[in-house]
């Protein structure tokens, strides 16, 4: 392991707004002290709490927090070395409405109590075209989310993947979930200039530079309905992420 990555891991251990719990601690049922107490014991306000799942470098988490001090933002990811970037930026910007949790998304109920979360953002996840249960908008994950969300909390999906967008759109329609926004070309729609949708991550800029439209779907999630998977054949996405050399040749905004 490189020295730079080791330093990042050491930093993460010292950051007071970063929380890391081992899988063993979760499975053993160890009490997470902030569960049900994020408002009172960490953020010290009653503002809505917004999660970004698979936050990577935390670009959306930090970007939203910089723009809106009236909400609290928590980035969740399993990759600590990536999360370090957002954690460091939030310190440099003196943000008191940001936290990061390093964990598997399946373990959200270990960290958050029922009704504690107002919104969830899922930004450019792996579409998992071959494994439905791994899709972050599958019924399996939606049932996990509603263990921690308020009744009719909002799920935001922002994606380059036509496969994942089509799948999620079909699931939402089949289960008659309340749709707030649905567009298969965000930046050609009126919503593309609105905050925070106009925030563009590094990887999002790559998709746009390649001429790939960004899709966005926002819907409300009820707490007690039985969710059903759609039976639908969807063409696979035909493109792949570029390697380092391919990325370097793109002209990003």
Residue 127 CB neighbour total at 10 angstroms: 24
Residue 36 CB neighbour total at 10 angstroms: 15
| Catalytic choice (126, 160, 169, 213) | 126
> What residues contact 65, with CB distance under 8 A and at least 6 apart?
71, 73, 90, 95, 97, 98
Active site residue 213: no
Rg, Å, the chain Cα set = 18
Which single residue is written with the structure tokens 């380059």?
Answer: 160
Q: What is the dihedral of CA 209, 85, 89, 43, to 10 degrees?
A: 110
Which single residue is written with the structure tokens 């819907």?
Answer: 219
Cα distances (angstroms) measured from residue 99 to each of 36, 86, 95, 177: 15, 9, 9, 30
DSSP bridge partners of 73:
50, 98
Cα distances (angstroms) measured from residue 49 to each of 38, 73, 77, 92, 180: 9, 6, 16, 21, 19
Catalytic residues: 126
């Amino acid at each position: 392991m490189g020295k730079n990555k080791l330093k990042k891991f050491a930093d993460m251990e010292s950051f007071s707004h970063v929380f890391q719990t081992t899988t063993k601690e979760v499975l053993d049922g160890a009490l997470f002290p902030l569960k049900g107490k994020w408002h009172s014991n960490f953020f010290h306000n009653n503002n809505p709490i917004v999660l970004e799942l698979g936050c990577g470098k935390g670009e959306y988490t930090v970007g939203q927090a910089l723009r809106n001090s009236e909400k609290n933002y928590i980035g969740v990811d399993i990759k600590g070395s990536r999360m370090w970037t957002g954690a460091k930026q939030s310190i440099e910007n003196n943000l008191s409405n940001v936290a990061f949790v390093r964990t598997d998304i399946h373990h959200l109920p270990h960290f958050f109590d029922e009704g504690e979360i107002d919104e969830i953002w899922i930004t450019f996840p792996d579409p998992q075209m071959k494994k439905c249960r791994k899709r972050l908008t599958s019924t399996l994950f939606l049932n996990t989310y509603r263990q921690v969300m308020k009744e009719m909390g909002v799920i935001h999906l922002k994606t380059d993947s036509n496969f994942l967008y089509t799948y999620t759109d079909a699931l939402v329609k089949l289960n008659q979930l309340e749709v707030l926004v649905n567009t298969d070309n965000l930046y050609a729609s009126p919503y593309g200039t609105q905050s925070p949708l106009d925030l563009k991550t590094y990887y999002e800029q790559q998709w746009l530079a390649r001429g790939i439209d960004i899709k966005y779907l926002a819907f409300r999630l009820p707490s007690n309905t039985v969710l059903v998977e759609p039976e639908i054949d969807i063409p696979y996405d035909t493109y792949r992420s570029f390697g380092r050399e391919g990325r370097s040749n793109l002209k990003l905004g």
